[in-house]
Amino acid sequence: METFSLAAISLTIAASLLIKKNKRLLHITFAALCLGLFFEKTGAFFGEIFPNDFWKTFHALGLLVIPPLLIAFSRIFLGNRESPWKLPAAYAGLGSLIIATVYFFLLFHWRYAAGILYLYVGATLVYCLAELFHAIHNATDGIERKRLTYVAAACAITGVLSLTNIVHTYHPGVPLLSDIVLAILIYFILVIITYPRLPELYEIMVRAAIVFLLIIFATVTFYLVLAIFGNGEVIPSFNLIFMTAFIIVIFIDPVKLILKRAGLYLFPEGKGSLNSLYTIDEEVEREKALLLEEMASTLAHEIRNPLGSIKGAAQYLKSDSESEENRELFNVITDEIDRLNNVVSRFLNYAKPGAIDPNTRNIADILERIIVLITSGHLPEGIAVKQDIPRDLPPVWVDGDQMVQAVLNIALNALEAMPQGGTLTISARVIGAESSPRIDIAVEDTGEGIEKKAMERIFKPFYTTKDRGTGIGLAISLQIVRAHGGTIDATSSPSHGAVFHIRIPVQES
């Protein structure tokens, strides 16, 4: 039953990738690999029930298509990095064709023929693992290295637990775990390739942990119900219930999407109702954003009108005042009114952001414009500005003005963090595999650093550690970058400065 469950899970994962709107070649290749695994496991399952040549052929064809598809996926996932073990998928495809010819015409009924096919698949797995470890060794981006390391660790655990199949031959009491751990592995890889731009790898682990806990919860619930209402019936094996729960949990999202699309096709006028059924969280967040936007406009109007009156009155009284001391006090009033007006404007920008107007941009031009804005003003004493911005960076699809604002907000914060002087460094480089490349913009300072407690809140609106700060700048930067499909994260230690990384996707060709 575990074999059939793995076949169903493979088919589900393939379907979930193929029905995605924004699928990449990486997704299509992995879907094809899952379909190959589906054919292999389906043939193996029904071959046990109906031992005939049809299912034997089905099983063999599934095994033969896996090696070229596995190599093709591996090459795309690893970004076609230079490797001493280059082996294009076309060679593997040719190898499968040759083995298929020999197998079906000469060795089809030979008792060891299936063993040869498994050895062929095993050799392909060893080759792909060698390329994976080579990619980890050569990875220059820390997050990418961690991502690949997690995949390598998952593959290693799968390989070790799959040895239970061999042990089971000599000790039947040992459970067969190979299909279970393989199902978990392909789901884990699905999460990795579906969310390539997560700023922290722990988020991937959290997603995987949540799915695993849901499966365990469903399994335990089934056993409890069976124990209470089963009337002494035979309890199915843990493997069977676990795999059934796994299928149900991972079926939820693709089936939900398919039903939604079918509903929109059959009842196009009911789009709003379907959205409320399937995107409750998104609708709630959208309602919150609209409410905040409406409140911001009203609040700004109610605050700005009396501020304008107060400022006008202060300027009038200042012109009639003969005391220097009074004029200074009126200057303080008008300055503080201007500051409050600026706070209101920044709050409006956050609560009611303008729509982005993206175009093909050279990120080097945007960053150099920011450096000019910084250096053309009055830099604090003792501040040096450095840059490491290659001119051959790939183009990005961004709103140039908004991206300038996002990076400039961070750079200005960095300058304020160095009251005693220091170095501001702005750099950019390409990171990630070729299947999902990103531009990593780094803004680094050598200032006071950020306390650990503050790190958790720096992107929250109105949170600030400055005496006269608004706490909006970083929140606006985060909002702009997210609108471009990017991420921001920061690292810091007190008295050792801080580094902010803005990662935005490269424009697809």
Q: Is 250 in contact with 210 (CB distance < 8 Å)?
A: no
Q: Which residues contact 206 (CB under 8 A, 6 or more apart)?
A: none
- Owner of token pair 């183009």: 395
CA 431 to chain centre: 14
Q: Which amino acid is at 121?
A: V
C-alpha distances in angstroms, 87 versus 7, 189, 237, 471? Answer: 28, 22, 42, 53
| Cα(83)–Cα(177) distance, integer angstroms | 33
Helical (H) or strand (E) element with 505: strand 498-505
Per-residue pLDDT of the chain (509 residues; tens, 9 = 90+): 667 777 888 888 888 788 776 667 888 888 888 898 888 888 888 877 877 777 777 778 888 888 888 888 888 888 754 444 455 666 666 777 777 777 666 655 666 666 777 788 888 888 888 888 888 887 766 667 777 888 888 888 888 888 877 776 677 766 667 777 888 888 888 877 876 654 445 566 666 677 778 878 887 888 787 777 766 666 677 767 777 777 777 666 666 666 666 766 676 555 544 554 444 444 444 555 555 566 666 666 667 777 777 878 887 787 777 778 877 887 888 877 877 776 676 666 665 655 677 888 889 999 998 888 888 776 778 888 998 999 888 888 888 888 888 898 899 888 888 888 889 999 998 887 665 688 899 999 988 888 877 777 787 776 676 655 566 778 888 888 888 888 888 888 777 788 999 998 887 65
Domains of the chain are 2-203 (1.20.1070), 283-351 (1.10.287), 359-505 (3.30.565.10)
| Cα(269)–Cα(327) distance, integer angstroms | 65
Tokens standing for 32? 């094809």
Per DSSP, helices labelled H in 237-356 are 238-266, 271-278, 280-320, 324-351
Residues 52-55: contacts with CB under 8 Å, at least 24 apart:
53/108
Q: Is 384 in contact with 423 (CB distance < 8 Å)?
A: yes
Q: What is the pTM of this model?
A: 0.53
Q: Is 438 in contact with 470 (CB distance < 8 Å)?
A: no
In angstroms, what is the C-alpha Rg of the chain?
30
